Amino acid sequence: MAEHRLYTSRPGATWPALVCAVVIGGASACAPPPKHATAPATSAPALPAVPLVDGPLAIRVVYPPAGAAIPVRDSNFIFGTVGSGKATLTIDGTPVPVVPNGSFIAFLPLPPAGAPQYSIVAARGPDTVRAVHPIKLPAPRPVLADTGRLVVDSASVAPRGNRVARADERIRVSVRAPRNAMVGVRLADKSEVRLVSQASAADSLRLAVEGDPFVWATDLPAPSLARGAELVVSRGSDSVRFPIRDISIDDTTQPRWIRLTGGADVPDTDRVIIVRPVPNGTYKWLLLPGTTLQATGRIGDMVRVRLDAALEAWVAASDVSELPPGTPAPHRTAANARVVGGRDWVDVVIPTGERPAFEVREEGTRLVLILYGVQANSDIIGYMADDSLVRRVRWYQDASDRARYEIDLVRAPYGYLPSWSRGVFTLRVRRPPTIDPSSPLKGLTIVVNAGHPPAGSTGPTGLYEPVPTLAISERLKTILESRGAKVVMTRTTAAPLALAIRPVMARRAGAHAFVSIHLNALPDGINPFTANGTGSYYFHPSSEPLAREVQRGMVRRMGLRDLGIFYDNLSDLRHPWMPSVLTEGAFIMMPEQEAAVQTAEFQERYALGVADGLEAYFRALGSGR
């Protein structure tokens, strides 16, 4: 399983003929394929038979762990073993199939909140073993009744926590409270502003789809809240008050500057600082350490920074250091650019003065470099007399402090690497390798990453994901080498290896492709019988063709449901120097698939599928397709 992510199927994926499951409501059923599914063109290879295990009855629940908090309120999966494939099993009175090795998985309604525990009974002939498996359920939402004692959902009150805002900002104040309550904000000057009920602001149909009828909200100027305020909910003689604290106003007359520092999990030459479009949101910009930016706000442990006059973003407070008051603003002017060629790459060199915030976009056969907080002043752009990769470079001043460089290539980008040194920003554009059509992998360096540890998923019998991923990766190494490739393994032992260092190892090895081998699992609340199969993941557009070919190869060789390919922002995939793919070939949480990935036969099929995909990708790359 990649990082901490968990995945579900996509609509329209190919399904097997029948999926047998324990479904909500307690009945065991075989679900036919959805009507929109298409049958595979050829018969899919079967999974290896699960060997019979007939040991002593012993109930062992692998997931959820005893006492675990389950963040869903309806149904969830439970899996583990009972020691014998000849046993019968019931959980909360519902029959659950047991596979021959004694493992099981079920998707069942959660136990009642008053007794949050599964009652498990395994039997074989006259022998019976019983177990009670406790879990923790989410605290029920308070009942916001129109009558009786006034009840307010205190956990819903916003804003909360430290916050630094601009004077021109408006901050949302909201709370979940009864629909017939009076809700307002009392300000320091004793004035009061009423909150608007979502129930009264929306028609019933839209509310059923989009909203919560108990939400009250309004947006208020940050300065009015910074002077002190309280949220007041009342009904009749009952009232509840919540102070609004810890809001301060950023002093724009004294700009605050920060420097991106980041952790030290990889050396400075490969370290990037993650910047996000919203607090604690997805990763969007990967900036260089040492970049100086203006801080314009804060929410909790996230700092808002200004990339340029029109764009702000968020970075973790732990990734920045504050500069002394009075620090001057960075001065960034892009001077005359030049294109410098090398055997394996071409450098687009742009003097900028200080490090800029930036973004690189892949658009067909073009790389677009956005330099934030930069004024371009390029009279001349110098080229080599005859280059086989870069055709032309154009620049535009999109805004007073945003420069855009368009780098036209003769083909779609294969890889690139941004860097800054001594006042110069460089975008290194990698040349694709020369491919032998009769042996597409010959002479190429492929880095194979056996996913995890740290972290990783565990199957019903307790199989830990890093064990089979290493075995599959070792088999893949042998196959790739037999096809002419040089293979570098990121790990060859069970010792943990930091996520961030793995793609860095690939860059340093001069890898022509990076493949990360994983086995998947699902988040709580997802039905595993309808959401398992084979999937592939990419991040940069230049890696999408590789992901497609590897996905085709795995599905053809392994025969599991085709979940398709996914764009996903994963650590293994962010390095832009080489095409990268992360494979989730099977679901370790599914008993039959967990048993399969332990066999040499299925490990070979997984590895062959990936190798076939790599070969097909590089063959197409060599032909210019």
Query: Are 130 and 171 members of one domain?
Result: no
Residue closest to 247 by CA, chosen among 291, 194, 307, 187: 187
249 is written with which tokens? 């106003």
The C-alpha atoms of residue 139 and residue 153 are separated, in whole angstroms, by 12
The H-or-E segment that residue 605 falls in is helix 600-623
Residues 122 and 199 in one domain: no
d(CA 592, CA 47): 8
**CB under 8 Å to 204, separation ≥6 — which residues?**
none
Phi, psi of 221 (to 5 degrees): -60, 135
Identify the segments of the chain with pLDDT beneath 50: 3-41, 205, 207, 209
- Closest by CA to 408, choosing from 366, 368, 348, 359, is 366
Q: Please give the pLDDT value at position 418.
A: 97
* Burial bucket for residue 320 (CB in 10 Å: 0-12, 13-18, 19+): buried
DSSP run (H or E) holding 593:
helix 591-596
Buried b / exposed e across 362-378, counting CB within 10 Å, b at 16+?
beeebbebbbbbbbbeb
Q: Tokens representing 509?
A: 């090895």
Backbone torsions φ then ψ of 205, nearest 5 degrees = -70, -50
Structural domain ending residue among the three candidates 249, 280, 298: 249
- pLDDT at site 268: 60
In a domain, 484, yes or no: yes
Tokens read off for 461 = 């019998």
- In 483-582, where does DSSP find H-type helix? 501-508, 544-558
User: pLDDT per residue over 266-294, tens digit each?
Assistant: 656 688 999 999 999 999 999 999 999 99
* Residue 24: inside a domain: no
**CATH code (residue 181):** 2.60.40
According to the model, what pLDDT value does residue 41 have? 44
- Do 473 and 546 lie in one domain? The reply is yes
Query: Does residue 16 form part of some domain?
Result: no
* Structural domain count of the chain: 5
Residue 523 burial by CB count (10 A; 0-12/13-18/19+): exposed, middle or buried?
Answer: middle
Residue 582 lies in a domain: yes
Cβ within 8 Å of residue 523, ≥6 positions away = 6, 8
Residue 89 located in a structural domain? yes
Query: Is residue 390 domain-shared with residue 525, that is, in the same domain?
Result: no
Between CA 73 and CA 112 the distance in angstroms is: 10
Do 372 and 452 belong together in one domain? no
Q: Are residues 242 and 288 in the same domain?
A: no
Adjacency order of strands within the sheet including 390-399 = 357-363, 366-372, 402-409, 390-399
- The strand pairing partners of 566, in sequence order, are 537
Q: Are 540 and 573 in contact (CB under 8 A)?
A: yes
CA dihedral 470, 475, 481, 483 (to 10 degrees): -140
Chosen domain end from 220, 249, 278: 249
Within this chain, do residues 114 and 240 fall inside the same structural domain, yes or no?
no
CATH number, domain containing residue 568: 3.40.630.40
Predicted local distance difference test score (pLDDT) of residue 43: 66
Report the alpha-carbon distance of residue 480 to residue 486 in Å, rounded. 8
Residue 178 token pair = 């009864």
The Cα–Cα gap between 318 and 273 comes to 10
Continuous segment of H or E residues that includes residue 536 = strand 534-538
Judge contact between 241 and 231, C-beta under 8 A: yes
Domain end among 134, 164, 193: 134
Clarify whether residues 236 and 262 are in a common domain.
Answer: no
E strands, 288-380, are: 292-299, 302-308, 311-316, 320-322, 333-334, 337-341, 345-351, 357-363, 366-372, 375-376
Domain that holds residue 264: 256-322
The pLDDT of residue 210 is 58
**Can you read off the two tokens belonging to residue 50?**
């699960």
Residues 543 and 477 in one domain: yes
What is the value of pTM for the model shown?
0.90
Q: Which residues lie below 8 Å from residue 105, measured CB to CB, with a gap of 6+?
A: 77, 78, 79, 460, 528, 589, 590, 591
* CATH at 292: 2.30.30.40
What count of other Cβ atoms lies within 10 Å of the Cβ of residue 218? 16
Q: What is the CATH number of the domain that holds 80?
A: 2.60.40.10
Cβ within 8 Å of residue 436, ≥6 positions away: 442, 443, 484, 622
Same domain, 263 and 244: no
In a domain, 440, yes or no: no
Asked if residue 180 belongs to a domain, the reply is yes
User: Do residues 122 and 189 both lie within one domain?
Assistant: no
Q: How far is CA 611 from CA 134, 488, 608, in A?
A: 44, 14, 5
Cα distances (angstroms) measured from residue 200 to each of 141, 154, 234: 21, 21, 17
Give the closest residue to 50 by CA, choosing from 550, 553, 463, 470.
463
Residue indicated by tokens 């599991």: 560
Q: What is the CATH number of the domain that holds 377?
A: 2.60.40.3500
Residues 314 and 208 in one domain: no
Whether residue 9 lies inside any domain: the answer is no
Cα dihedral 548, 550, 555, 556, rounded to 10, equals 110
